Every structure is written in C-alpha cells, then in structure tokens.
Amino acid sequence: MRLRRRSASPEPAAAANAAAGARYGSVQERLKGDAQETARQRIVIASMIFVMAFVAVGLRMSYVSLLRDGAEPTERVAARGGSIQAERADIVDRNGVVLATSVPVMSAFVNPRLLLDPQDAARKIVGALPELKYDDVREKLEGDKTFVWIKRGLSPREQDKVNRLGIPGLEFQAEERRIYPQGTAAAHVLGYASVDNAGLAGVERFFDQQLQSGETLQLAIDLRLQRMVEREIAAAVKKFSAIGATAIVMDATNGEVLAMASLPTFDPNSTKTLTNEALFNRATLGVYEQGSTFKIFNTAMALDTGKVTLSSVFDATSPIKIDRFTINDDHAQRRPLTVPELFKFSSNIASAKMAVAMGTETQRAFFDKIGFLKPLTTQLTELAAPLYPRHWMTINTMTIAFGHGISVTPLHLATGAAAVVNGGMLYSPSLVKRNAASDPGRRIIQAKTSVMMRQLLRLNVVDGTGKKADVPGYEVGGKTGTAEKAARGGYRQKALISSFAGMFPMNDPKFVIVVSLDEPKGIAETAGYATAGMVAAPSVKTLIEEIASLYGILPGDLKEGLPPIEIASTPVPAQVVPPQFVPANARHRAQEPRKALPAGPGPNQTAAAPAAGVRRVAAE
C-alpha cells in the first residue's frame, strides 16, 4: 500500500506571520517607520548642505579680506546686477591717519519709459531733494532715454526720502564715494576725485592707477603739522589783509614735504568750493620773483667758486646806474661791504657786483644746476615752469642776483634752500614718504660752502633783516625777500610778494620753512611796512615754536652751535673784488623773459618782469 505525503498545515505559516508582526509591527506601523527614516536622512543631508554653505561663505569672507589687505581690489555689485567700479584705496599721512577714503553709497536713477506721469514724478523728486531744480529734473524724465541719473551719492536720509516716493522706474544703484575726513586739510596736496572715483587733481590724479588698483598711498605730510601751518598762514592773511598765501615745511635731509598749504583753499568734499582761484596751488603753480631770498643762491654760487671768501669786499658806496635805470639799497650803508655785511644788510648793489664778478655764464649755469630753470619733479601734475631771460645778459645777471628778472615757485625756493644748508645735497621734493635709498641726492655745492652759508643765514636772523624769526635756543637762520609784483611794462607798486625762507637748527639743519604772503598790507604794528621781515618772518617763528613742541625738540637737544662770524665796523678793502659791471653809458637793453607757460591757471600768478624795469626795490 502506497503512503501519501501529508501537506503542511497552514497553521504554522500563520503563526510565523503573527510572530513577525509582533516583532516588526503592523504594515501601517512599518510604513510610518520608513517615513521617519526618510525624514531623518533628509535632515542629515540638509544639515550637511548648510554646513558646506557656511564653510563656503567663511572661506569667501577670508578670501575677500586677504584681497583687501593685498594688491587686488574688492568689487561691489550694482543693485540691478552687473559690477561697478572697484574700491579706491586710502590715502594716509606719514603716521597712518586717513586723509582720503571711499565709502559705499546709493545713487538714484530713473528709466523714464516706465514713468506714468513725468511731471508729477519730477515734483515729488524735487520735494525729496530740494537742491535739485524742477525744470532740470522734468526735462530728464520727459526724455526718451532708458537711464538717467537723478542724484549720485545720496545720504541715508536722502535715500529713505526718495525710496518712500514709490515712483515706478525710480531705483537705486550701489556705488562708492570718495570722502576726505579731514575737510580742507592738505587739499592742494590731496586734490580730489570725480563722482566716478577718478582722480582729477593732486596726488589723487598723479597716483590714480595705483589707487584704483587698491594700493594704499602713504604721504610724507604730517597732518598735525599741516593743520598748524594752515592755521598760521590763515591768521597772517587776515592780519595783513593779504589776497593769498602759501607755506611749505620741508625735511632738509631728504626733501620730504612735511606740510604744504595754499590760500585760498577748497573742501574736496564739496563741489561748490572748487573754483579756479581756490584750486590754484600757489606753492607749485605760483611763479613769482622771490626778491632777496635769491641772495642765498647768488652768495652760495660765489663762495663755492673759491674766488670769493667771507672776507671779500664789494663796494656799495653808490647806486649802480645803468642806462636809464638805477639799482639802490634800502638799507644803504654807503661804503664797501664784506660778504657777511652784504648778507646782513641785504645789499642789492654789492650782490649785483658780486654776480658780475663771477660772470654771467657762471651764474646761469649755477641756477640751472639747482633746478631753477625747469619745472620741479614731484608727485603732482600741477607744476609750473620758471620764467627767466631768453638772453641772459649782464643786466640780467645783476638783477637776478637780488631776485628780480627771474620767477620760480615757492617750492623751488624751499628745495634750493634745503640744498644750500644741508651740506650741499639737492633732493627732489617728495610728497610721498621716502625710504632711506629712494633718492640719494645730487651735490650742488661743497660741504664747506654749506657751512659758510649757514653762518650767514644765522647772522641774518640774529642781527639782520630776519630778527623777527628768531627763537632763542633753536639756532634759527633765514633770509627775507620782498618783491613788487611784475606787471606789463614794469611793476605794481605796493603789490608785494613778501617771503621768508627759514631753517633750523643751523648747526645741523633739519627743517626748512618758507612762508609767502601775496599783497600784504602794512599795519600800525609794523609801522605801515609790509616787507617780509615784518609780515612773513613772524609766521616762521611761530611755526618753529610749534614744530619744536610737536616733535619734543628741546634747546639742549641741539648740537654745539656754529662759530659766529666777526663783522668789522670798518672793513678793510684789501680783497675788494673788481666791480666789472656795465658802465652807465652802455647801450644794453633788458631782454624779455622766456615765455614759458605755467602748468595751470592762476588769477594771481606773476611773470618775470623785464629786467629793464630795475628800480628802487625792497632790499629784503
């Protein structure tokens, strides 16, 4: 009999399913568990994405920060898309104080084609920005352009007012605006930038490419000293009713310009102040006859040749008559003068004879050597060329000896004076802070000649025309220079350029200070005189006192002084240099000065007058 396999009973399978259900839950429960697991996975993925985004943002911020500290500029993005001009780098003074910087601003623009009512929009805009003119705004809005500026560089308050107008088609764009935190301070050095952040004057223009590339510019200017200089010449202009003034403080050891000011001035933050007269930098564009300050260079030239010594004598007994003109002395001694006396009494007659004794070619070559026959080389584009005779004849040699018939800028004067007193090395003036090897200098006179000139300059302050510049304990030296301003066919009487070139300490010169007033008026305190010794020398004294205070210079800090120069009351003319000047009946005519064009406009700029206009001039 065949046995059949008995089929499995369904009860064990059901039992297994029941056991599985007890272990994993019901179908609904398992589906719910799967959803939770999916949610957890999504949270983990989202968290990872968030962390990655956070890390990316952090890395980007670090990258941008490094770029900002390096040479690469950062870039701002316009509100409506697209990039705008890269950030312009800061300008700082020698101590790191910010003089010019860029800040983000919003500018308003309109697409006139989106406006529903241009006239109503114009009225609303002018109501929010009252400095705008309704007719100008309406004309812009009624045009067929798709983009017109309403106002650039809005203040936050102005932006809020415009934004609240709710005018369709009126939008904003992110830009940068150049600001000058120090206001008018060092305005002629800094210059200014356009609304598009392009340099238009001063170092802003000269270093435009460097600043746009994001590289910070450090100047030689000391803001503290700059403010002192500006305050002092502003007070002098007010006191003597001058029409303008300029002042320069230079480091005699390397040519750095520590301060430079010109009045009238302007505020680079305000376009309303940017007039031609205010923009005119008298220190670098003002070409003036410098009067007797040129005796510094004429005397240095003569002493450096070795043909003239401090004991040499020049006859100043009588005025020099040449053709129909006469050269006189304001402090006439009517006797032969030694070189120290020539300097002390600022004798035009003796200086003219000394120049002629040296020779016309020698004088011209020397003035070319010290850079007085060409524009200076410095970090500005506003530089004027000197004016001098096309044909340098004997009469020109005589008048140039005391600063007439040749015109240079005050910066020329400061640069040349620094070279004469610093040991004989000429440095090009620098508005940028220098390193030790940036300009080795060029020798123009011997070191021993420089020592003699420092003695003469000290003598002039102690016992000459520069007494009002003396500061006890600080070994101040200097020279006055007063010249009538040249005019067509001659000179304008009582329209003076009164200048003083001061230096200290004369035993080891560090600072050169030039102060020049344009058309000062005499007052009761000066007995009606407006000469340099009366109006410019006191300002130099004040600045020397402030420099000593600012840098903590004490009288005891100075080196041992130079030996004094002995001046005989009756000089012995044993070494009289032959006065080889042109006799009175000579037919020489003065030559017209070279017609060199200045580098910029100047309402008060003077030209070198014809040397034939020699007349009785201020000996200072």
Q: Which are the contacts of 618, defined by CB distance < 8 A and separation ≥ 6?
A: 291, 292, 330, 482, 483, 484, 496, 531
Residue environment code for 288-318, b if the CB has 16+ CB neighbours within 10 A, otherwise e: bbbbbbbbbbbbbbbbbeeebebebbbbbee
Verify whether residue 292 is a known catalytic residue.
yes
Helix, strand, coil % (nearest 5) of the chain? 40, 20, 45
Strand partners, 485: 492
Residue environment code for 492-515, b if the CB has 16+ CB neighbours within 10 A, otherwise e: eeebbbbbbbbbbbbebbbbbbbb
Distance CA 182, CA 98 (A): 8
Tell me which of 102, 262, 292, 450 is the catalytic residue.
Answer: 292
CB-CB contact of 459 with 408 (8 Å) = no
Phi and psi dihedrals of 190, rounded to 5? Answer: -70, -45
Distance CA 238, CA 227 (A): 17
Tokens of 45: 């993925």
CB atoms within 10 A of CB 139: 13
CB-CB contact of 451 with 400 (8 Å) = no
Strands 217-218 and 91-92, by their bridges, are parallel
Residues in the chain: 620
CB-CB contact of 427 with 254 (8 Å) = yes
Q: What is the DSSP string of 108-165?
A: EEE-GGG-S-HHHHHHHHHHHSTTS-HHHHHHHHTSS-S-EEEEEEE-HHHHHHHHTT
Q: H or E segment at 484? A: strand 477-487
Phi and psi dihedrals of 29, rounded to 5? Answer: -65, -40
So which residues are the catalytic ones?
292
